[in-house]
Amino acid sequence: MSKINFSAPINSLSFGNVSVNMLRSFHKLGIDVSFFPIGKSLDFSSYDKLDNKLKDWIHKSSETRFNNLSPDTPSLKMWHLNGSESGIGRRQHLYTFYECDEPTQTEVGTCMVQEKTIFSSSHAEKCFNDNGCTNTEYIPIGFDTDFHETNKAYLQGKINFGIVGKFEKRKHTARIINLWAQRYGNNNDYQLTCCVTNPFFKP
């Protein structure tokens, strides 16, 4: 494959991070991308290590996205199941994340209208397979090359727990932190590192 239509957000959230790294991989592989951004703008504010040449390539891929548009070019959307029922061209593939154990009929239907629905976890793929979906794949998420080992020792002699992701009620972020504090809060042998955020919350 030398050409692809790619639809995804560029923002400071986890979906934006995955999108940036997918685009980085397309660029590295020399794939001609017609980039259809989801959202109002390309927000690179969280990607201070991103090469300017790559940013320029992403901008150009977006600005020229209609130049060689063809219904037969494969499309990849990186998005939620909700909102992925429509696509570009005849051959849409969806890369998505699923965190529940029982998909709704709407979610099954959205999965089935894709040529292929690719999940980030094997558990999610199994949940949809168990509900009759025959067009699924599982591809684990890649690792961001902007992260690297520092070769420094951290928290020596301590057992460290980490909570990473969006701070949300449905993920019980506050409850988990409170339960951890009740269990380990007064024990200096344990450390809790929280890297949680939600742009909709005020500081």
pLDDT computed for residue 99 by the predictor:
87
The set of residues, in sequence order, having a beta carbon less than 8 Å from that of 33 and lying 6+ positions away, is: 3, 4, 5, 6, 23, 26, 27, 61
Mean of pLDDT over the chain: 92
1: confidence class by pLDDT, cuts 50, 70, 90: low
- Give mean pLDDT, residues 127-150: 90
Per mean pLDDT, which range of 108-112, 132-136, 146-150, 152-156 is the poorest?
146-150
Sheet strand arrangement including 136-138: 32-37, 3-8, 75-78, 92-96, 116-119, 136-138
pLDDT computed for residue 143 by the predictor:
80
203: confidence class by pLDDT, cuts 50, 70, 90: confident
Model confidence, pTM: 0.81
The DSSP result for 37-69, as a single string, is ESSSS---TT-TTS-HHHHHHHHHHHHTTTTT-
pLDDT tens digits for 68-104? 888 889 999 999 999 999 889 889 999 999 988 899 9
Which domains, from first to last, does the chain contain?
3-138 (3.40.50), 159-197 (no CATH)
**Alpha carbon distance 97, 69 (integer Å):** 27
